[in-house]
A and B are shown apart, each in its own frame.
Chain A
Amino acid sequence: MVNGNPIVEGFIEAIELIIALDPQVVEITIRSLYVSLTATFFAALIALPLGALIYFYEFRGKHAVVSTLQTLYALPTVIVGLVMFLFLSNIGPFGFLRLLYTPGGMIVTQTVLIIPLLMGLTVSALSGIDRDKRYTITALGASRLQTVMTIISEARFAVMAGVLLGFGRAIAEVGSVMIVGGNIRGATRVLTTAITLNTSMANYSLSIALGIILLSVALGVNLALSLVQRR
């Protein structure tokens, strides 16, 4: 082993950990993907129809709703973590669900975290369909429902890009999963919380290994995003 620089050593050890498929690394990675993918799935299930409703229906305060959503894009994750902690803890209204310090609780929290982002991006994806296209759909004799379906299908790539962004925000955030999940080894430890902990314990090699994995996931999301946006 090269003597001296702990960073270089840590980096080499990290590569070894990844290549050897270290069980701890694999377990944390899988949990991280599981939590954030599930959260993205449920968030999309809720946010896409709601976003579409906001876009297609005219109501008072529509503009205010859209601005609020856009403000919530930047919602601090620790705030969401704190609020969800209070909701899910024994003193909170949803304490009976026993979700605090479980992956289930982390999924719910990340779902809440990215719903505004997915809703807002759905609204702007649908708004990206210009007026002339909407006139064309109407002129071709589409019923109300057919119009909605055509516009959604036309905006599908932009909507998909929004979902990918949501996933990216979920997997990369640390604040809320730390508070709600508690970073319990073998139960609620995910990539970001593991990196935080191991770094503070000077366990650099594991941190770097997990960091490389997190970066590659982020890179993969970006790659998929640019593929989608090119359509």
Chain B
Amino acid sequence: MAIIEAHGIRKSYGSLLALHDVDLAVEEGEILALIGPSGSGKSTLLRVLDLIEPANEGELSIFGIDVVAERGRWLDLRRRMGMLFQRPIVFNASVYDNVAMGLRYRRASGDEIDRRVNEALEAVGLSRYTRSRATDLSGGEQQRVALSRVLVTDPEVLFLDEPTANLDPTSTATIEEIVMRLNREAGMTVLISTHDLAQGQRLAHRVGVMIEGTIAQTGPSSDVFRAPKDRRIARFVGVQNIIPGRVVSRTEGLTTVEAGGRQILSATPPPADKVEIVIRGEDVSLHRREPMHEEAENLFPAMLTRIEPAAPFVNVTVHCGCDLVALVTARRADALGLREGVGVWISLQAKAVHLIPLTGH
């Protein structure tokens, strides 16, 4: 059952349109990552879904309750959810009082607050700071205080707004671990926004890509990475090669596309006559001589035109009618003796060649 269901959400601040046409369903117990560039509306969407601020238009139901019609129940619904923000936020009080805030708002008894706060601080490894002033802690510690402050209230849905964007790798790992465990053991539904693609992939069952105020694509992260629906998504998920082409024929499950005088085979059904070919750099294999037992459908000679280090990889640009960028490990580039001006062979599986309709740009 969908625990959150949103349709046609629109939100603007004055003349600035932050969200439009947002459709999203979040299943109970899943981890959904919203990925997208800064300013694409991720934080705003999380705030709208956590009922921190109202949308201007659209339908929204949370826990099966139509929240647009029932404004009177927002406080109760909000108390079943929790949100952790990007910037570590602590209040000018002791660590204990910071973590107790949500429980005090809910009028929990003193004994219960005592027990749960101490438990929560234990869990994030901050017991020794219980009586310290929260503002004196480091950024990573403050974020852990903020996380325990949310978790003591036992939220059914947890929103994380770029929770680790400002943190060191150790604090990031701690927070990711806690979130994954809560999801696994307590079945907590988690919505996390991040501009870190790897974090999205690591944590989430499903990702939604936000571009310019709307959700452009949702699905398992592998789909979004390998088969982006359009050029903007492809760009955001780090596709190196987006090449315009023309569909020539379609036979036996393979589409032939002509680009730069070269015919390339793709396993994607043609979405239009004029297309763009989307190829991830790591899917392009380089060889020094013609491979004998190569099973890739696409195999052709090319001229190496540029080598660019991008540790631990190198970006190798080759020309074969059109320019293609291949991602090669630095070690392999050495072993192959790659340098500008040499002739190489490239192989490419038809499955790795994704097609999107060509749009004016």
Query: Inside 8 A of A140's CB, which chain B residues have their CB?
Result: 82, 101-102, 105, 149-150, 153
B83 interface hit (Cβ, 8 Å) = yes
B92 interface hit (Cβ, 8 Å) = yes
**A157 and B149 contacting across the interface, CB-CB below 8 Å:** no
Chain B residues 168 to 203 lying within 8 A of chain A, measured CB to CB, are none
Per-position contact with B for A142-155: 1 when CB-CB < 8 Å, else 0? Answer: 11001000100010
Taken together as a complex, chains A and B put the C-alpha atoms of A231 and B85 apart, in Å, by 24
**B105 and A135 contacting across the interface, CB-CB below 8 Å:** no
Query: Inside 8 A of A139's CB, which chain B residues have their CB?
Result: 50, 52, 78, 81-83, 150, 159
A135 touching B85 in the complex, CB below 8 Å, given contacts A140-B101, A157-B92: yes
Q: A149 to chain B: closest CB distance in Å?
A: 10
Query: Inside 8 A of A196's CB, which chain B residues have their CB?
Result: none
**A141 and B91 contacting across the interface, CB-CB below 8 Å:** no
Count of interface residues, chain B, beta-carbon cutoff 8 Å:
23
**A133 and B52 contacting across the interface, CB-CB below 8 Å:** no
**B153 and A141 contacting across the interface, CB-CB below 8 Å:** yes
B319 interface hit (Cβ, 8 Å) = no
Taken together as a complex, chains A and B put the C-alpha atoms of A146 and B105 apart, in Å, by 7
**A141 and B85 contacting across the interface, CB-CB below 8 Å:** no
Q: B143 to chain A: closest CB distance in Å?
A: 12
Chain B residues 138 to 157 lying within 8 A of chain A, measured CB to CB, are 146, 149-150, 153
A58 interface hit (Cβ, 8 Å) = no
A127 interface hit (Cβ, 8 Å) = no
Taken together as a complex, chains A and B put the C-alpha atoms of A133 and B90 apart, in Å, by 8
A132 touching B87 in the complex, CB below 8 Å, given contacts A140-B101, A140-B105: yes
Query: Inside 8 A of B50's CB, which chain A residues have their CB?
Result: 139
A138 touching B89 in the complex, CB below 8 Å, given contacts A143-B75, A146-B105: no
Q: What residue in chain B is nearest A142 (Cβ atoms)?
A: B105
B47 interface hit (Cβ, 8 Å) = yes
B106 interface hit (Cβ, 8 Å) = yes
**A136 and B85 contacting across the interface, CB-CB below 8 Å:** yes
Query: Inside 8 A of B83's CB, which chain A residues have their CB?
Result: 135-136, 139
Chain A residues 130 to 187 lying within 8 A of chain B, measured CB to CB, are 132-133, 135-143, 146, 150, 154, 157
Taken together as a complex, chains A and B put the C-alpha atoms of A154 and B90 apart, in Å, by 10
**A143 and B52 contacting across the interface, CB-CB below 8 Å:** no
Query: Inside 8 A of A143's CB, which chain B residues have their CB?
Result: 75, 105
Q: A63 to chain B: closest CB distance in Å?
A: 15
Contact of B92 among A135, A138, A142, A231 (CB under 8 A): A231
Question: Can you name 16 A-B pairs with beta carbons within 8 Å?
Answer: A132-B87, A135-B47, A136-B85, A139-B78, A139-B82, A139-B159, A140-B82, A140-B105, A140-B149, A141-B75, A141-B105, A142-B101, A146-B105, A150-B91, A150-B101, A154-B91
Interface residues, chain A, CB within 8 Å of chain B?
132-133, 135-143, 146, 150, 154, 157, 231
Interface residues, chain B, CB within 8 Å of chain A?
47, 50, 52, 75, 78-79, 81-83, 85, 87, 89, 91-92, 101-102, 105-106, 146, 149-150, 153, 159
**A-B pairs with lowest CB-CB distance, top 8:** A141-B79, A139-B83, A140-B102, A136-B89, A142-B105, A141-B105, A138-B52, A146-B105
